[in-house]
Amino acid sequence: MGDSSASYIHMVQHLIEKCLIFHMTKEECMEALSKHANIEPIITSTVWNELEKENKEFFDAYAQSKSKDDRMSEEETSQMIQKMISESSKDSDN
Amino acid sequence: MQAVSPLAKTTTTKDESQEQMDNSFSTGGNGDFPDLLESIDFGNLFVGINDGDVLPDLDMDPEILADFSVSGSGEESEMNTSVSNGKVEDNTEKNEEDKVLGSGSGLDSSLSTRGEEIVSKGDESVVVNPVSKESDNGRKSTQAKNNQGKRKVKVAWTSELHRRFIQAVEQLGVEKAVPSRILELMGIDCLTRHNIASHLQKYRSHRKHLLAREAEAATWSHRRQMYRAAGGGGGKADMTPRHAPTMGFPPITPLHHQHFRPLHVWGHPPMEQPLMHMWPRHLAHSPSPPPPPKWPTSPPPHPSYWHHHNQQRVPNGLIPGTPCFPQSLAPARVVPGIPPHAMNKVDPGIVVPTRQSGPHPLFDFHPESIDAAVGDVLSKPWLPLPLGLKPPSLDSVLGQLQRQGVAKIPPTCA
């Protein structure tokens, strides 16, 4: 039983990481995993918490970037994106 | 009077030796040692044989020396030669070594055991067996016969010897470890460069073998588990059919598929405790003071090793790269119109949703993309974690779940 638990937890972690790439919140992640992967939210939540404990730095930065995102307005974001695009096109040109 | 009571069964003939012994013990003088040694072990044991100066312990000393010191192994050859001669001067020299290397009582007990054995062998210049008790220092069993490797002597790679070998290799870097340097680092004179070279070769090939097997077994077993979990949970029909691992190893079920356990030490029975745990404690005998071990602190270039520790100190090589911090993810935000190259950090498996910008939250996600991502994970569990976050300990997760009333995972009723 321990064996499958380990794999299961690993799977949940994998899924959570995918959600993190989507910049989901914990709640959103719980919902998504429950809906798409039939994972009980309580499990998602627990694994998320444990992951957060183990990767505090990451989650801190993650939360920061998310709050920054929240604060930014649409225009600011578009401007930022535009700037990035131009920078990267400059790079690609070089 | 009797400083070494169990060993020195006092005989009247050796009374003065006993006194000398006492003196030696209290003063620790050099000159007393020959007598000391005689009286303690051999004097009593070799009552008939021992002439006082001529010492069977000459035979034993090389063994003792080998046991107690690898750094002084240079003396061995001298001792070997002197053994046959049986000179007192050599004895003195060796005795100094003994004094330096061994504690008095430890020496005594070992000497006595050897002494007993030597009695039976008489005045042989070579004693092989008695040192078996002291062999934990990695002495070769045939060491006594090895005279500086004139002929190729078969090396018995004891675990201790092997450990030193690994130590040396680690210090040099496994790819750059050169036999001559390893030999220097190990400082065991009885090893020839050739011995080391062949051992190194075997070691390298074994490591590769183990690496591949472990990786394969881990992913394969994990995949198997995932199918079980996914099958129980969702009953997805589009599960990729399981195919046998290419290496064809028996289904090993490494519970810690992400953490390399100490693998079977090639050539030796599997060690339960990683040798590295004892590593610092044995530094005293190391010839050159080793630099602080690199491997525990720096990420190893090579994932699995024989002497890997149980603790997950070493980040295993299977986890790809470093976690991507959100800074790199920020540009990956879903905003329509962004050309793909601005989002190069995003997992390519994720479909970029294309939708109109507007009052939507900036990071809205299409259900399809999430579904795709989730399906990806479920169907291909062997894929490396996209972020490579450090996984939490299984026990703590399970504990937490139990505290919240979740008994079994995966839950039977999804």
pLDDT at A76: 73
Walking along chain B (414 residues) 10 residues at a time, the average pLDDT comes out as: 49 50 48 57 54 51 54 45 47 48 45 46 45 45 48 77 86 83 83 87 87 78 69 48 51 47 53 47 46 45 46 45 46 46 47 44 64 87 86 90 80 54
Query: What does the pLDDT read at residue A55?
Result: 92
User: What whole-number distance in Å separates Cα of residue B117 and Cα of residue B63?
Assistant: 12
Q: What is the least distance, in Å, from the CA of A61 to any CA of chain B?
A: 6
Confidence of residue A16 (pLDDT cuts 50, 70, 90): very high
Instruction: List chain A residues with CB under 8 Å of B384.
Output: none
Look at residue B340 in the predicted model and tell me its pLDDT.
46
Range of A20's domain?
2-93
Cα of B401 to nearest chain A Cα, Å: 7
Q: Is the pLDDT of residue A82 over 50?
A: yes
Q: Round to whole Å and give the CA distance between A18 and A83.
A: 27
How far apart are alpha carbons B198 and B203 in whole angstroms? Answer: 8
pLDDT of residue B72: 43
Q: Are B213 and B266 in contact, with CB atoms under 8 Å apart?
A: no
pLDDT of residue A15: 93
Residue A40's contacts (CB-CB under 8 Å, 6 or more residues apart) are A34, B406, B411, B414
Residue B362's pLDDT is what? 44
* ipTM over the 0.90 cut-off: no
Contact B391 A13 (CB under 8 A): yes
Q: Nearest CB to B409: which of A43, A49, A84?
A: A43
CA-based nearest residue to B149, from B140, B161, B158, B138: B140
Contact: B229, A84; criterion CB under 8 Å: no
**CB of B279 within 8 A of CB of B162?**
no
**Pairwise CB contact (< 8 Å): A17 & B385:** yes
Half-sphere exposure of B300 (CA within 13 A, CB side): 26
- pLDDT for B304 equals 46
The average pLDDT across A74-86 equals: 80
For residue B253, list chain A residues with Cβ-Cβ distance below 8 A. Answer: 3
Residue pointed to by tokens 């793909």: B340
Region for A23 from its dihedrals, namely left if φ exceeds 0, alpha if ψ lies in -120 to 50, beta otherwise = left
Residues written for chain B: 414
Separation of alpha carbons B43 and B296, rounded Å:
49
Task: Say if the Cβ atoms of A10 and B381 lie within 8 Å.
Answer: yes
More confident residue, A73 or B232: A73
Task: Return the amino acid letter for B297.
Answer: T
Provide the residue count of chain A.
Answer: 94
B329/A65 touch (CB, cutoff 8 Å), yes or no: yes
DSSP B112-155: HHHHHHHHHHTT-S---GGGGGGGGG---TTGGG-STTSS-PPP
| Global confidence as pTM | 0.30
Domain count, chain A: 1
Query: Distance (Å, rounded) from C-alpha B195 to C-alpha B206?
Result: 16
Tell me the DSSP string of B73-97: GHHHHHHHHHHHHT-HHHHHHHHHH
The vertex-B131 CA angle with B126 and B135, nearest 5°, equals 130
Residue B373: both structure tokens together: 């991502």
Which residue of chain B comes nearest to A17, CA vs CA?
B387
For chain A, positions 56-75, list CB contacts with chain B under 8 A: 57-58, 61-62, 64-66, 69, 72, 74
Residues of A in contact with B385 (CB under 8 A): 13-14, 17
Give the pLDDT of residue B378.
87
